[in-house]
Amino acid sequence: MTGTLEGTRTVSHPLYGRIDCAVIGCPAGETEEPDALPADLGRLSPDSVIETALHAGIIDELDGVPLHLKLSQWKEEGCGCLVADGTEPEPYASSAWAVLNLHAEQVGEGLSLAARCVDAESCHVAVLLPGDRRRSLQQRLGEERVYLVRRRYPVVRYAPAGRMRPDKALRRIGVQALLALYRAAAFGEPQTGCVVTVAGDAVATPQNLAVPFGVPVRELLAHCGLREDPQYLVLGDLMTGRTAPSDDLPVLPGMTCLLALKVRPALLPERACIGCGRCVHACHAGLLPYEIVRRLENMHYERLVSLHPEGCDGCGACSYVCPSGRDVAARVQEAAGAHGTIFLEWGDDDDA
Amino acid sequence: MTMTLKMASAPHLRLTERSAALSLDVLIALVPLCVFSFVHYGVRPVLLVLTGIVTAVVCELLCCAFMRRKPSVLDGTAAVTGGLVGAMMSPLSPYWLPVIAAAFAILVVKMPFGGARPECLQSRRRGARGGDGLFSRPGVSLPLRGPAPAPSFGGYQRCPHRPSPRICS
Using an 8 Å CB-CB cutoff, list chain B residues near A295.
none
A239, A243, A247, A281: which to substitute to probe chain B, counting the most B Cβ within 10 Å?
Answer: A243
Q: Say how far apart CA B72 and CA B61 lie, in whole Å.
A: 8
| Residue contact B13–A90, C-beta within 8 A | yes
B1, B3, B25: which to substitute to probe chain A, counting the most A Cβ within 10 Å?
Answer: B3
Q: Pick the more confident residue, B141 or B100.
A: B100
High-pLDDT (> 90) share of chain B, %: 31
| Residue contact B18–A324, C-beta within 8 A | yes
> Looking at the partner chain, which of B8, B77, B115 has a beta carbon nearest the beta carbon of A243?
B8
Burial class (CB in 10 A: 0-12, 13-18, 19+), A168: middle
Using an 8 Å CB-CB cutoff, list chain B residues near A15.
none
> Looking at the partner chain, which of B10, B114, B120 has a beta carbon nearest the beta carbon of A242?
B10
Q: Are A259 and A293 within 8 A, CB to CB? A: no
Q: How far is CA B102 from CA A81, A232, A275, B44, in A?
A: 57, 45, 20, 17
Query: Quick one: pLDDT at residue A168?
Result: 75
Model confidence over B33-49: pLDDT tens digits? 999 999 988 899 999 99
Q: Say how far apart CA A107 and CA A129 lie, in whole Å.
A: 17
Residue-by-residue pLDDT tens, chain A, 352 positions: 667 888 888 877 777 778 888 887 776 655 555 566 667 777 788 999 999 999 999 999 988 899 999 999 999 988 888 999 998 877 888 999 999 999 999 999 999 999 999 999 889 999 988 888 888 899 999 888 899 888 777 877 888 877 666 667 889 999 999 999 999 999 888 998 999 999 998 999 999 999 998 888 999 999 999 998 898 899 988 888 888 888 888 898 888 999 999 877 655 677 778 888 899 999 988 999 999 998 888 888 888 888 899 889 888 899 988 888 888 998 898 888 764 455 444 444 444 3
The ipTM, to two decimals, is: 0.73
Q: Say how far apart CA A148 and CA A157 lie, in whole Å.
A: 10
- Beta strands, E only, chain A: 4-13, 17-25, 81-86, 122-127, 146-148, 170-174, 193-199, 207-212, 232-235, 242-243, 257-261
Residue in A with minimal Cα distance to B11: A239
Q: Say how far apart CA A66 and CA A75 lie, in whole Å.
A: 15
Burial class (CB in 10 A: 0-12, 13-18, 19+), A245: middle
CA distance B3 to chain A (A): 7
Judge whether A188 is closer than 8 Å to chain B, CB to CB.
no
| Residue from A241, A88, A86, A73 nearest A151 by CA | A88
Q: How far is CA B70 from CA A271, B63, B73, B75, in A?
A: 11, 10, 9, 12
pLDDT at B125 over 70: no
A15, A300, A319, A334: which to substitute to probe chain B, counting the most B Cβ within 10 Å?
Answer: A319
Q: Say how far apart CA A297 and CA A15 lie, in whole Å.
A: 27
Model confidence over A173-215: pLDDT tens digits? 999 999 999 999 998 889 989 999 999 989 999 999 999 988 8
Using an 8 Å CB-CB cutoff, list chain B residues near A267.
8, 14
CA distance B154 to chain A (A): 40
Beta strands A81-86; A170-174: pairing state: parallel
pTM: 0.74
Residues 6+ positions from A335 with CB-CB distance below 8 Å? A292, A293, A295, A296, A304, A307, A309
